[in-house]
Amino acid sequence: MARKIMRHTIQVTLEKNSYPVSVGSGLLQEPAIFMPHVHGHQVCIVTQKNIADFYLAKVLSAFSEYQCGVIFLPEGEQHKNLTEWGKIMTILLEKGHDRSATLIALGGGMVGDMTGFAAACYQRGVNYIQMPTTLIAQVDAAIGGKTGVNHSLGKNMIGAFYQPQCVVADIDTLQTLPPREFHAGLAEVIKYALIRDIDFLDWLENHIADVLSRKKEALLHMITTCVSHKAALVTADERDHGVRRLLNLGHTFAHAIETLSSYESILHGEAVAMGLCLAAQHSVNLGWLTTTDLERIQSLLLTCHLPCELPLHLTLEQLMTAMKKDKKNQHGKLTLILLKKLGEGVCV
């Protein structure tokens, strides 16, 4: 009896380096999805212990005929830094990986960002594949080639635009995701609805129970929708000079919140949720959104167990000072993404 096939493939189309994003159930056990994108005979999987316990064996089994190394990164955004990144380089060299090697990022956004940046710079560039295992990575971080590490003076300040060979988003991995991380990922999901898809906002409100109980059909539709939006924006603007910047709704606030929190006490998605509320409040102040719109956003975020208020130790003034250092600023001017209306982001 045939299993119900649950998968979609979305193409990210770029001048060079076009690549497929596969979204679906059971993908990590299907080498046919990713093996055509592995060239050469050397593979190195970069992951973390907690993820490896669940998924490493599945991926490793595809590479029994390869020289296949594994690198474990420590857990926590505070380790997404040059020091840990340099250790990846050292291990790759010690294991004798050459220019034909393929790195595989098996994990969340931190693993993907660091692995992608390692691939960008190891021997001036090797191939890599994204296998995101968190919601936030599947809908956002793993797609679009933004790689990098944090600096104590700012988030993602060191990095590169460097595209993967393919992205494999196996939605089964979301079943083992801790609730707090799953909820954090929903902040990025809601972001897509707010900047460009009012119908998707309706869908989310109507299906949030299925989403929160992680029903596969709901996850597949939700993630495929987000990936399609991300792919469209990256295709239109790979280098983040135009429409891709809409993806930063809430993020300039969020980066500042994270920098001031030393990346430890707060998850990226939680900071994004606060940022979405601040951006929406700002849009209300400008007369673009109604307070009803704002309440609708806050209500959906709260249903997803996400914070709508700044942490107590942070003031708006501290936030503004930190935001002036954000890398999206140019010529001392702070660029913000706001909402003209629900479903329509704008860069001001």
Closest distance to a copy of itself from the beta carbon of 158 (Å): 5
Report, in Å, the least distance between residue 75 CB and a copy of itself.
23
Query: Which residues bind to a copy of itself, rule: CB under 8 A?
Result: 40-41, 82, 86, 89-90, 93-94, 96, 98-100, 117, 120-125, 146, 148, 151, 153-154, 156-161, 240, 325, 327-332
88-107 burial code (b ≥16 CB/10 A, e <16): beebbeeeebeeebbbbbbb
Q: How far is the CB of 259 from a copy of itself (least distance, A)?
A: 11
Query: Terminus-to-terminus CA distance in the chain, angstroms?
Result: 55
Residues in contact with 46: Cβ distance below 8 Å, sequence separation at least 6, in sequence order: 70, 71, 73, 88, 103, 104, 105, 106, 107, 111, 114, 115, 118
Q: In terms of CB distance, is 51 or 234 closer to a copy of itself?
A: 234
Closest distance between a copy of itself and the C-beta of residue 335, in Å?
A: 11
Rounded to 10 degrees, what is the CA torsion of 232, 227, 146, 247? 70
Task: Name the 3-class secondary structure at 72.
Answer: strand
Q: Which is nearer to a copy of itself, 76 or 86 (CB)?
A: 86
Q: Closest distance between a copy of itself and the C-beta of residue 310, in Å?
A: 24
Identity of the residue, 300 or 322, whose beta carbon is nearer to a copy of itself in the bound complex: 322
Closer CB to a copy of itself, 151 or 180, in the complex: 151
Q: Phi, psi at residue 129, to the nearest 5°?
A: -125, 140
Nearer to a copy of itself, 92 or 310 (CB): 92
